[in-house]
Structures are given as C-alpha cells and as structure tokens.
Amino acid sequence: MENHYKMSGSMRRINIVKQLLWKGKVDDAVARFTDYKLKQALNFCVSLEKHRHRILNYQYYQAKQICSIGSGAIESTVKQLDRRTKISGAKWKLENVPQVIAHRCAYLNGLIFAW
C-alpha cells in the first residue's frame, strides 16, 4: 500500500483500487490505471505485477479469521526463531534447521506440547 498513496488522481479511484487490492483483485486494480500515462501510475502497475504473488484476498482471511493479516506477529516469531537458532555454543547442521523451525511453529500453533 505504500506505493498506492504516491498516486495522483481522484481519491475515489484511489479508494476503489485500495478496496480491489484488499480483495486480492490485482487485474481489476491495474485496469483502473490503463488510461494513465503518468510515471507514478506506470510504476505502481509494474509494482503490482512484480508482487502479484504476495497480494492475498485479505478480506477473505479476515472474515474467516483464518490468520492474522498483520506482519507484527510474523516478524516477532521470525526474531524468536532467529535467536533460538543462534544460541551461544549451539552448533546446527544446515539440513536440521527446517525441522527445528517446523517444531517451533507447531509448538507456537498449539499442535504439540512443551515437556
């Protein structure tokens, strides 16, 4: 959304695009700028195409309460995992790290119990 607010034009169009992206409708969002020749619009559409695979239907996930849509919890968990794999004196084989991370994720999701 950071590039979305760099766009010029009507707030109505910008808000429509924001709602389309919230629903994961990248093609529809890009279509709203097909008549624009401004550099910001072209850059925005290029950015959307580049990151298309990362744009989810956030509305659906929020409505179904499948997961948190904020990045804070994810970033915090990544930091915890990073600290855990860098314990002083610990030696990790590269091939074992994914299993350690999988166990930690299972524990944090309540799928296994700590001893």
Largest interatomic CA distance in the chain:
61
Query: What is the model's pLDDT at position 107?
Result: 80
pLDDT-derived band at 28, boundaries 50, 70, 90: very high
pTM given for the model: 0.52
Segment 84-108 shows an average pLDDT of 79
Give the burial class of 44: count Cβ atoms within 10 A of its Cβ; 0-12 exposed, 13-18 middle, 19 or more buried.
buried
More confident residue, 115 or 47: 47
Contact of 58 with 24, CB cutoff 8 Å: yes
Q: What would the pLDDT profile of 43-92 be if each residue is shown by its tens digit?
A: 888 888 898 888 888 888 777 776 666 667 777 877 877 777 677 777 77
